[in-house]
Structure 1
């Protein structure tokens, strides 16, 4: 509760000069317009003088808050008799307690102030709204809703901020079905002005009820109305994925990336996964490589594995082999050395292939015969027919590799004989 606001509330009613309250520029609803205008009341002269002294004490600059305490001492000592004077005094005291962030006393005094319903229109309206705001602060959400309803009933107004608070209170009370209409009313009242809060409130209300398609609808509108809010783009992509609309999920996240909105590891990885899932592995690999190298995406075994896979899927065999080699060193798992060796063999990097395949066998593999066959082939293409023959013999011992190995035995022998090499 800021000092300027309290000053406005108080000065307009104190009878220092016995001036009536100025009219308030509210847009009153049709029902309220038919009500007779409330007669303006003034604080009695005796009470008014004492209130003026309290206000003077409040107006003294004090960083330690003693100005509020001094004002309260004077106000609490006033013995008002008339009903309006009592209500006005309770309202003033309530505002002082609000200034001290003493919500309990503030609410108590303000409730006593509005209960007789005799304050001037602006005073009554302001007090009702402040009660609602204070109840929100102390998580008295049911009581806040009562206060806001009373404020709207009294003023005939429909205010965007109040509707947002009503939506928030209902969300906190898990009354999710009531959140959406309140948020929609806020959006309607905002008109050409835009505010992300009503959309966030609607989104939460639908999400809590697992109404994911409705979440998509909210976010599709939100990104049009508030195109610069990053969160809406990434959430829209996530909800498209949750509803299995992967093409839209990809196009949305890709657009968010082009707008410069993706700066978190999870967002980059999600986009890379969507590229891979959509059979665009090259884009996935390029993206991951860029952000792993920059440090945005962790260089861990999971991400390097994805990077190796996507380079392999995009037929960049040498790059894939390199990343499988990096992964093998990270994990010391034979399957990664095996994959590296097979790819190096395919890429005709035979000497490196032999090293990786032998390392895999050393660690332990279930398909040793196949790896021995690949080692034999690598030695063959390097012109080492003697070692090729040694490893093809090892491959023959494995039933799963025997058929292929048999074909290579005679091929190795014939080639060696033709080149006058003894095996």
Structure 2
């Protein structure tokens, strides 16, 4: 009889474990066990945790009759025909047969006390959840189990309240889930971290991030005080809650813990992003450096961001080479935007030839003339005036240039150096008009100086030609 009873109770325990968030300690929550040294924190809107004293009487529940034991044994054998060796069991399970027995017991409910009825409802809930995937009936029988209080044990009442909360959380009945946890806290002497985590998850789904953060912080503090493991997803949820509340100082603290204890790409990238957002540029670069060393930078965005940070921190040559590897490995797509950034890095690193090659490719793929504008200036610096003229003309043909007068000035200078004085003067006249329309007086002065210089040069050449020189 004791063996059958143990198997019945084990079935109920399995149901609780299926829905459990996390184990808290080897002892769990047992009446008679108290932790005076670390009283659990109280959450806003929750009842105080009861204090258990040594002389407090345990709840007494009615005994189970031998006839009821036999009925449970019959149902249990249909659910679990080979408890000693389930993997090699040749007897098929028959949960439907067990349901028939249990429902017949409910039809004669007047024969049973509250403890016995509670066990019937518990077993029914387990079958409906595990074998029938029938959440409404699962909820119904757990609620009927609670209706047997005070003729069921405190432990069974607590476990059922928590299970109901978890089920309603799964069903997205968040307010109901929260109410069941409030009832749980009202009767539980020793809440552990997992219960606070469950409350945090409920608030999280309700988008009540301050309440979620309070519960999650309480869970972590309690776990640390009891020397229990703080799980990765606890920190991750807490980080998200504080991020939603824009508590970025706390976000940084949590992410620093995550990269230390659970080093993953997502945490390094998030940490670097928040560092940058908050103006900690050195720390941002160091975070990306650590992620690079760990081999976490395996996405195009990672490569381009890290390369850009190296440029900003006056290491453009390394940034250019790093992004070039991304291009060569095809991790980074050769889009105009990506190519432009690589070319800029080469340009900052004084690698002009490499920059030109990249800009030529980028310019041919771009929808506007901005890259050819930049390219024309590089060719001008290298005294490659014919290529300068071609690039400037392509820039103007494509259009979309923010400062059109600049590329017109560069084109005029290239034309002048190609000894195309008439074309150069016409270009500078056009650039003067463009600068005047843009109200750029300095650019207008430059164009006027070039026009005057070309006129003087043309006059000088005409005089020399007239003199036969």
- Report the TM range for the smaller structure's normalisation: 0.7 to 0.9
Distance 1:125 1:43 in 2: 20
Counterparts of 1:222 and 1:117 in 2: how far apart (Å)?
A: 45
Aligned to 2:166: 133
Q: 1:353 to 1:287 in 2, by over 3 A?
A: same
Distance 1:52 1:352, change over 3 A: same
Q: CA deviation at 1:155?
A: 4.5
Hey, what's the Cα distance between the residues in 1 that align with 2:395 and 2:133? 69
> Which residue in the other structure is 1:370 paired with?
409
Q: Would you say the 8 A contact 1:163–1:182 is kept in 2?
A: yes
Detail structure 1 runs of 4+ shifted over 6 Å in the superposition. Answer: 408-415
CA distance in 2, matches of 1:250, 1:7: 59
- Which of 55, 73, 87 is matched with 2:100 structurally? 73
Cα separation, partners in 2 of 1:101 and 1:174, compared to 1, 3 Å: same
Deviations 1:166-207 (A, max 9, x none): 111111123322222321232232635241112122122222
Work out whether 1:295 is the aligned partner of 2:355.
no
TM-score, normalising length: structure 2: 0.73
Distance in 1 separating the partners of 2:428 and 2:155:
97
Cross-structure match for 2:118 = 87
Which residue of structure 1 aligns with residue 151 of structure 2?
118
Write out per-residue CA displacement over residues 247-294 of structure 1, whole angstroms, 9 at most, x where no aligned residue: 222222222222222222223233233333334333332232222332
**Does the 8 Å CA contact 2:61/2:150 hold for their aligned counterparts?**
no
Comparing 165-174 with 123-132, which one deviates more in the overlay? Answer: 123-132
Q: Which moved more, 1:230-239 or 1:370-379?
A: 370-379
Distance 2:178 2:58 in 1: 26
1:216 to 232, 252, 255: 252
Q: Secondary structure at the match of 1:88?
A: helix
Equivalent of 1:57 in 78, 90, 95:
78
Q: Is the 8 A contact 1:90 1:112 kept in 2?
A: yes
Would you say how many aligned residue pairs link Structure 1 and Structure 2?
A: 396
Structure 1 gap segments, 5+ residues each: 13-23, 380-386
Gaps spanning 5+ residues in structure 2: where? 1-5, 14-25, 36-50, 433-443
Change (3 A) 1:120 1:333: closer
More contact order relative to length (CA 8 Å, sep ≥ 6) = 2
How far did residue 213 of structure 1 move?
2.4
Q: CA deviation at 1:317?
A: 1.7
Give yes or no for contact 1:281–1:314 (8 Å, CA) kept in 2.
yes
Question: What is the distance in 1 between the residues matched to 2:237 and 2:394?
Answer: 57
C-alpha distance in 2, partners of 1:6/1:148?
28
What is the CA distance between 1:390 and its match in structure 2?
5.0
TM-score (norm 1): 0.80
Following the alignment from structure 1 to structure 2, what is the Cα–Cα distance between the partners of residues 25 and 342?
75
CA RMSD of aligned residues (A): 3.5
